[in-house]
Structure 1
Amino acid sequence: MTFARQTWIIFRRQMRLALRNPAWVIIGLAQPVLYLALFGPLLVPLAQQIGNVNAYTFFVPGLLVQLGLFGALFAGFGLISEWREGVVEAERVTPASRTALLLGRVARDIVLLTVQGILLISLSFLFGLTGSIPGMVFGLFLTMLLGGACSASSNALALSTKSEDVLAPVLNSIALPVLLLSGILLPISLETGAPQWLVTLSDFMPIKYIVNGIRDAFKGDIATLTTLWGLLWTLVLFAAGLWIGTRTFRKDNA
């Protein structure tokens, strides 16, 4: 059986499980939509300060990245349940590639994330989003890669901890600093009272460059250095996530 076939079998099974309870797709989309409806209007008076005529052209890319992070970063909880039920061990005794076991699950999360991203962008037009359609497609592509990186890393961490009680605080301790320091909701540059050490620390956050790259793309500035940095960091995180996830799935004690 080819590697592609093995990946497809895992992906198909995971999609069937997801489609049996499609409410999770809506639940995962609920938080960004609430931010869009409740926080977005507060940015309208700041449109000139953030350099955009349309505040939603600035805000929606951040919500996309937030969706990619939180929509896939908690994927490991499902894997822990499968491990506890013996599903993972049953898969590991088959000749299937350990990489295929991971990629099938990551592909499911990317597909679900893509659907959520399309819905989020579509709803944003109702609030007044304007911008470049090709740029939005490019931004959605970067979000898919980021989601794949988060999904692979989450699955790796889940197999390493094998406990929801451990996984939850670890993921929250990662997600909160990223959310605050990456400028997903509001760039630190607008916080005039922010200490310099906090601004400097934010420069070491790869997600910050991804958010800024998607924002440039939404404005139609795809061929810029900012967008290039966003693409490069997304590819680096995606490759690193797959490497870590594959290595964990290949361990004998996984």
Structure 2
Amino acid sequence: MNENAIQSNQSLSPPASHFILSTCTLWKREMVRFLRAKNRVVGALAFPVLIWIMLGFGINNMFKTTGAVVSYGNDSAPQAIGYLEYFFPGMLVMILLFTAIFSVISVIEDRREGFLQGVLVSPASRLAIALGKILGGASLAVGQALILTVLIYPLVGSIPSPLAIIGVALSTIIIAISLTALGLCLAWPMDSTAAFHAIMNIFLMPMWFLCGAIFPVASAPLPMRIIMYANPLTYGYTTISSLLIGTDAQQIPLPLAATIMTVFCIVLVLLAARIASKPRKDGI
């Protein structure tokens, strides 16, 4: 009798292969869905690049002349850099943010269209569903950010060392996972894309504006500087900026920024998994 109960419990527990298959299937769906939606590709890439070009060329000479940012390269003496180079890491973070937003909106759309209900009643666990969404959105964001870095950054800045390039790639992955997990935490309880866009405008976009992407933390007024230091995205941006262009404009040590960025990522992934594991009031 006890053996039958044990076998029954074992049959109810999905094996690891089912978990991996469910996660990979949802990850693949995000890839296919993104490539088929040409407007998403254009929207996620074109807007950040346009912002970078317009702000970069508009402020570049003034920014370089005032010496607002100092770069420490191979030379011992600091060198002033232009705004095109300074704003480039901010553009990468914006691409990661936009791609994360577009990817998690599909959660709301899938629930409205009935696809999510079908997935939730399948043997796939809610944790696998959450991870599939997070990894799908993060993969798209990282791919776009790295492609633009390879194509554009050599035109405006010096090529960093191989070790720095590896660090930038790892930082991009961690930030992409963090932002996608954050977006999933916000989108999962919602039924309206309009409500999510409102949250994006009052919460996600200010996170980007106040991460040091547009102006250095060190040059901000004290009240705003406190908010920027409390913003977790500041440390992700600082990590990419320090590795890519070598600036210390944020006055945050690189090891500290990398540590906070990693902890932020772990906390958000666990929070997203917890939110997705609990059924909503409507059961889905």
Taking structure 1 as the reference length, the TM-score comes to 0.87
Amino acid at match of 2:273: T
Partner of 1:180: 209
Partner of 2:25: 9
8 A contact 2:157–2:245 mirrored in 1: no
Change beyond 3 A, Cα 1:84–1:37:
same
Q: Which deviations, in whole Å up to 9, do the C-alpha atoms of 1:71-107 show, x marking residues without a partner?
A: 2134332111100111111111111121111111212
Partner of 1:164: 193
Deviation at 1:182, TM superposition (A): 1.5
Distance in 1, matches of 2:173 and 2:240, equals 12
Q: Which deviations, in whole Å up to 9, do the C-alpha atoms of 1:84-142 show, x marking residues without a partner?
A: 11111111111112111111121211221122112321342364221414323422321
SS at match of 1:94: coil
From 26, 32, 47, the counterpart of 2:42: 26
Partner of 1:235: 262
Are positions 1:94 and 2:110 aligned together? no
8 A contact 1:61–1:218 mirrored in 2: yes
Greater relative contact order, per chain length (Cα 8 Å cut-off, separation 6+): 1
8 A contact 2:211–2:237 mirrored in 1: yes
8 A contact 1:73–1:147 mirrored in 2: no
Distance in 2, matches of 1:164 and 1:125, equals 34
Computing the radius of gyration over CA atoms, which structure comes out larger, 1 or 2?
2
- Greater Cα offset, 129-138 or 166-175: 129-138
1:65-214 to 2 correspondences below 5 Å: 65-125=93-153, 127-134=155-162, 135-191=164-220, 194=221, 196-214=222-240
Q: RMSD across aligned C-alpha pairs, in angstroms? A: 2.3
Change beyond 3 A, Cα 1:81–1:67:
same
Partner of 1:245: 272
Change beyond 3 A, Cα 1:176–1:220:
closer
Are positions 1:226 and 2:261 aligned together? no
Deviation at 1:184, TM superposition (A): 1.0
Q: Which deviations, in whole Å up to 9, do the C-alpha atoms of 1:197-253 show, x marking residues without a partner?
A: 2222222112222222221111469xx972222221221221122112111221122
- Greater Cα offset, 51-60 or 139-148: 51-60
Gaps of 5+ in 1: none
SS at match of 1:80: helix
8 A contact 1:99–1:246 mirrored in 2: yes
Taking structure 2 as the reference length, the TM-score comes to 0.79
Partner of 1:35: 51
Distance in 2, matches of 1:79 and 1:232, equals 30
Amino acid at match of 1:200: I
Gaps of 5+ in 2: 1-14, 72-78
Number of residue pairs the alignment of both structures matches: 249
- Greater Cα offset, 85-94 or 168-177: 168-177
Amino acid at match of 1:46: F
Structure 1: which 4+ aligned runs deviate by more than 4 Å? none
